[in-house]
C-alpha cells in the first residue's frame, strides 16, 4: 500500500448527503476482484447518461479531472459494504475524502486501501466546500503527520485521527503489512511449534 504523508491539490466539491456505495461504484462494475480499471465506473450514473454522454459531473470538469481530494456531504459511503467503492476512488486518484461523517464500513475500508477519510464538523466542511468550488484558483494541503488541512488562504484546520490508523497510513501498512511486521515472531513460533509438534 502506498504511504500517505502530505497531499496538495485542487479539492473537488461533492455537495451531496447520503452518497451510498452504489452511487460511488454501481453494481454492474463489481464483477472484478482487481483493484484497477474501476475509475470509469466511479460515480458512473452521475457522470454519464444512458447513451454514454457526459452529464458534466464535477469530476469531469477541467479543474477536477485529476483531483486527489474530495469534499463531500454527511454520511458518505453508506449503503452496502462493497470494498470496490474505495478501490474506485483510489483508481481515479482520490487519496482523501473530507466529510462530516462516514458510514463505518466504508470508513474502515478506506484505511485498508490507503485513503484518508477525514471527519470534520459541518461548519468546517462547508468552508472547505466553498474553497473547493473555486476550482483551479484554490488548492489545499492535507498533512497527515501534523493532522492539518491548509486552506488556500493559509488557515489551518486540525483534524482528529486514531493513532494506529495514522501510523498505518504514514507507513503504507494494510492488514497484511501490519502482520508482516511481526514476521520474526511468527517464524519463531512456527519453528518452536514444529519441534514440539512435528506431526502438525
Residue 83's SS3 state is: coil
pLDDT band at 137; cut points 50, 70, 90? confident
| Cross-strand pairs, 48 | 54
pLDDT of residue 184: 74
Closest to 71 measured CA to CA, from 112, 155, 130 = 130
Q: What is the pLDDT of residues 67-87, one digit of tens each?
A: 999 999 999 999 988 899 999
CA distances from 103 to 10, 22, 94, 99, 177 (A): 25, 13, 18, 11, 25
Q: For 60-199, where are the alpha helices, taking DSSP H only?
A: 84-92, 104-112, 122-132, 163-170, 175-180, 183-196
Sketch the domain layout of the chain as residue ranges.
Answer: 6-174
Radius of gyration in angstroms for the set of CA atoms belonging to the chain, rounded to a whole number: 19
Q: How far apart are CA 146 and CA 41, in angstroms?
A: 34
CA distance 161 to 72: 18
**pLDDT tens, position by position, 155-195:** 999 999 999 999 999 999 876 666 556 667 666 677 677 77
Cell of 161: 485521527
**The residue to which cell 485542487 is assigned:** 10
Q: Strand 156-158 relative to strand 6-9: parallel, antiparallel, unpaired? A: unpaired
Span 101-111, pLDDT tens digits = 999 999 999 99
* Closest by Cα among 59, 71, 78, 157 to 117: 71
pLDDT tens, position by position, 90-135:
999 999 999 999 999 999 999 999 999 999 999 999 999 999 999 9
CATH superfamily for domain 6-174: Aconitase, domain 4 (3.20.19.10)
Amino acid at each position: 500500500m502506498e504511504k500517505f504523508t502530505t497531499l496538495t491539490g485542487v479539492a473537488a466539491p461533492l455537495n451531496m448527503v447520503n452518497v451510498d456505495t452504489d452511487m460511488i461504484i454501481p453494481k454492474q462494475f463489481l464483477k472484478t476482484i482487481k483493484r484497477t480499471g474501476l475509475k470509469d465506473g466511479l460515480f458512473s450514473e452521475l457522470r454519464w447518461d444512458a447513451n454514454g454522454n457526459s452529464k458534466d459531473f464535477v469530476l469531469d470538469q477541467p479543474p477536477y479531472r485529476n483531483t486527489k481530494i474530495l469534499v463531500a456531504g454527511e454520511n458518505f459511503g453508506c449503503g452496502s459494504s462493497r470494498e470496490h467503492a474505495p478501490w474506485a476512488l483510489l483508481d481515479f486518484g482520490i487519496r482523501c475524502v473530507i466529510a462530516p461523517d462516514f458510514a463505518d464500513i466504508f470508513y474502515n475500508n478506506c484505511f485498508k486501501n490507503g485513503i484518508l477519510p477525514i471527519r470534520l464538523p459541518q461548519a468546517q466542511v462547508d468552508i472547505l466546500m466553498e474553497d473547493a468550488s473555486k476550482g483551479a484558483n484554490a488548492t489545499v494541503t492535507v498533512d497527515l503527520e501534523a493532522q492539518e488541512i491548509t486552506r488556500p488562504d493559509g488557515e489551518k484546520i486540525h483534524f482528529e485521527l486514531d493513532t494506529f490508523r495514522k501510523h498505518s497510513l504514514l507507513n503504507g501498512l494494510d492488514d497484511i503489512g501490519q502482520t508482516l511486521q511481526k514476521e520474526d515472531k511468527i517464524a519463531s513460533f512456527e519453528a518452536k511449534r514444529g519441534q514440539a509438534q512435528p506431526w502438525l
